[in-house]
Each structure stands twice: as C-alpha cells, then as structure tokens.
A and B are shown apart, each in its own frame.
Chain A
Amino acid sequence: GAIDQLHAFVNGTQAASGSFSQVTRGSGSQAGQAAPVQAGTFSFQRPGRFRWAVAKPYEQLIVSDGKQLFQYDPDLSQVTVREVGEAIGASPAQILFGSGSLEQSFDVAEQPDRDGLQWLRATPKTPEAGFSRVDIAFKDGLPARLELLDAFGQTTAITFNGVARNPQLPADSFRFTAPAGVDVVRMGGASPAARP
C-alpha cells in the first residue's frame, strides 16, 4: 500500500530528482477556474536538503541546504533566508524530502487506489499547518502525485515526472548565492505565509 511505499521511500531513497507540474483549482465560486500550470524541476538529498525550482510561467526558487532555507523570486528581486528548523514544519516538503517520521505531525491513512496509483491521506495534527490535508500517490515506490486541499477549498495538484532515485547530484545543487543587486532578507521567526 501507499504507507509502506512511503516508509520504504523515506528510508531507502536518500536522494532523488525529477520535474513537476503544478496547478491550483478553486472550488465553489471558483470551481473549474484554474490558475495557469506551473512547471519546474526538483531534487532533494536527505536529511533536509532540497531544491524546488519553478521555471514557468515565471521563475521562483526554494533551496534548503539543511541549515537554511532560501526563497528567491527574481521578479520581486528578493531572497528570504530563514533557519530550516522552523521553516519546513508540517509541510508537504517535509513529508517527501525530510527525514523526520510523517506520523509526528500528521495522521496518516491509506486511501483506495485511484488512476492506477496507491494513495495515502496525511492530515496535519495542528491547524497551523496552513492546509487541511494532503493526499500522496505512489507508483513503484516513488511519489507520483500530491493533492493538497487548503482551508478555503482550493486544491493544488502536483505531478512528479521522470523521478530518478539516488541520482548523482551536482555538488552545488543545494547551495544558493544571491545574485548582485537582489535584496537579501535574513529572517527571525517564520510566519506561516512563507512556509513552503
């Protein structure tokens, strides 16, 4: 089932890379209305190092070197830097890329298979997570899809493609240096709005 694939993935896959596409759909008054699809690449290395690079329709980069989390938006010409500890918290990134056990911050339950994938549902134990639940689908032991339902009924669906298990990652994959002229903001506490 999905839960044993998740445990095997967390324990057996020390690193991975691939591409993603992401779309958010509304509900109620905004049903059927979707924001444009975002696409990009990701990679991670346990514990705690990951890279989430949106390429289209605009550029945005989130990089964690395990100690600090960098969030860079070239159009806004700003990068925020915060300690990883409080930044990731109970977020989907922590589920897939972290090394802590999921069950610490989530109640996890198997879901029926759908679209040929095995699904689990993770419900945050605290309302502070900023979303209501996240469903994660597995195929051959790797995450294939992630559907995050927020507190306003909007669903963000992320599809992972071409996931390579334990690949050779470039040495500087999880390092970030701010380009010249960009505003670097070192953060105190992490407010929920900024949690990846």
Chain B
Amino acid sequence: CAVPVPIPVPAGADENRSLSRVGRFALRVEEVGGKQNAVQGSFAWRDDGSHLVLDLASPLGATLARVEAGPGRAVLRESNGKETLARNPDELVGIALGSDIPVSGLRDWLRGRVAEQPAAEVAERDEQGRPLAFEQAGWRVSARQYDALGPTRLQMARSDSGGQEVDLRLVINP
C-alpha cells in the first residue's frame, strides 16, 4: 500500500501546535445482522491547530478523498471530483468511508491529549501521565506505543444505539 505524501506544515505555523502524521487505517463496521464491511487504506494528517487536512488513499497510493476542516466549516473532495460541505469533518469522513470517524476527537488523541469537552473518562495513563485508555463521545479508545509526538497505535470502538459496531484502527508509519 502506498502512503500519501506527508502534508508539510506551513512555515509560521506554531510548531507545537502543528502535527503532521502519515499512516494506515482499517475501519470495520458490523451491522446488526452480522454483515461486515471494512476499508483499509493509508492516510496523511496535517493539523496546524486551526486548519486540518486529511488525505485518505487506496492501498496503491491513489488519494481517494481529501477532508479539509477549519473553524466551523469542513469540505470533502472525492477522487471523482464530487465536493461536499458540512459543519464538522466527522460526518464527511463518514461519507468517504461509510462510517463516522472521530476526526474532532483525533485532533487531540493523536497528540496524546484528551480534551475537556465532551466529558471523558480516562481509565489508564502511563508513568508520564499520557492517556492509554479512555472513553469520549461514545468512543472507547486505546492509545499505545507513544513516540515524541503522540501515540503511534490507536484503536477506537463504538457501538451506536442502532446496534452497529464500529472498530477503527490507526497505525502511524515509522
């Protein structure tokens, strides 16, 4: 699987505010009847604190969708040229991948942080106080194998009221 190009952090963006990561994702959705659907691919993530760009690519490297999110506005561009606007990026990635993704939560989780809001429950921290297991906005999250920037292995699970089970795994490339 090819990796999309890491999206460079713009000059002037406050360094510790910006995070640029490239990795792979696997999304699995189990419907009530047991029917399963899954997507694997690679991603490039660049978040300068206010503006987020997320590229989702197919295993052979063709970028299939790009989600850009700024304060109060998000846009999804798909490889067939279709553009969709929304208020937040979570549902947009849902359109591209078939199930909502906690993009807003990930903006903190990828930095090894859990935001104050919405209310969260941190069940486990490492000796440096970094969150390893927590629950927020309906997602049960495990964040492991930290490097200097944050966790490099994340597993997120959610079961919604309709009985649908979602399992999302992220791996940050070495």
Which A residues have a C-beta under 8 Å from some C-beta of B? 22-26, 29-30, 33-36, 38, 54, 57-58, 60, 62, 71, 73, 75-78, 80, 91-93, 127-128, 130-131, 148, 150-152, 154, 156, 183, 185-189, 191-196
User: Within residues 153 to 172 of chain B, which ones have a CB less than 8 A from any CB in chain A?
Assistant: 153, 167, 169, 171
Could you tell me if A130 and B1 are in contact, using CB atoms closer than 8 angstroms? no
Do A188 and B63 form a contact, CB below 8 Å, given A75-B171, A183-B28?
A: no
| Shortest 9 CB-CB contacts between residues of A and residues of B | A156-B61, A26-B5, A151-B79, A127-B80, A131-B62, A185-B38, A150-B62, A35-B3, A76-B26
Q: Is B90 engaged at the interface, CB distance under 8 Å to the other chain?
A: no
B79 lies within 8 A of A152 (CB): yes
Q: For the complex, what is the distance from the CA of A57 to the CA of B23, rounded to whole Å?
A: 11
Q: 20 other contacts beyond A150-B61, A193-B58, A193-B65, with CB at 8 A cut-off?
A: A22-B2, A24-B2, A35-B22, A73-B1, A78-B26, A80-B26, A130-B64, A150-B64, A151-B78, A151-B79, A156-B62, A183-B28, A185-B36, A185-B38, A188-B36, A191-B98, A193-B40, A193-B96, A194-B41, A194-B58
The answer to whether B6 and A33 have CB atoms under 8 Å apart is yes
Q: Which residue of the partner chain B has the closest CB to A155? A: B61
- The verdict on B81 contacting chain A, using a C-beta distance below 8 Å, is yes
Q: Which residues of B contact A38 (CB under 8 A)?
A: 1-3
B residues with CB within 8 A of A: 1-8, 22, 24-26, 28, 35-41, 44, 55-66, 77-81, 96-98, 153, 167, 169, 171, 173-174
- Can you list 27 A-B contacts (CB < 8 A)? A22-B61, A24-B5, A26-B5, A35-B4, A35-B6, A36-B3, A38-B1, A62-B1, A71-B40, A76-B24, A76-B25, A76-B26, A77-B169, A127-B79, A127-B81, A130-B64, A150-B61, A150-B63, A152-B55, A152-B63, A152-B77, A154-B5, A156-B62, A187-B38, A192-B58, A192-B79, A193-B96
The answer for the CA separation of A60 and B5 in the assembled complex, in Å, is 18
User: For the complex, what is the distance from the CA of A52 to the CA of B100, rounded to whole Å?
Assistant: 30
Asked if A35 and B24 sit within 8 Å, CB to CB, the answer is no
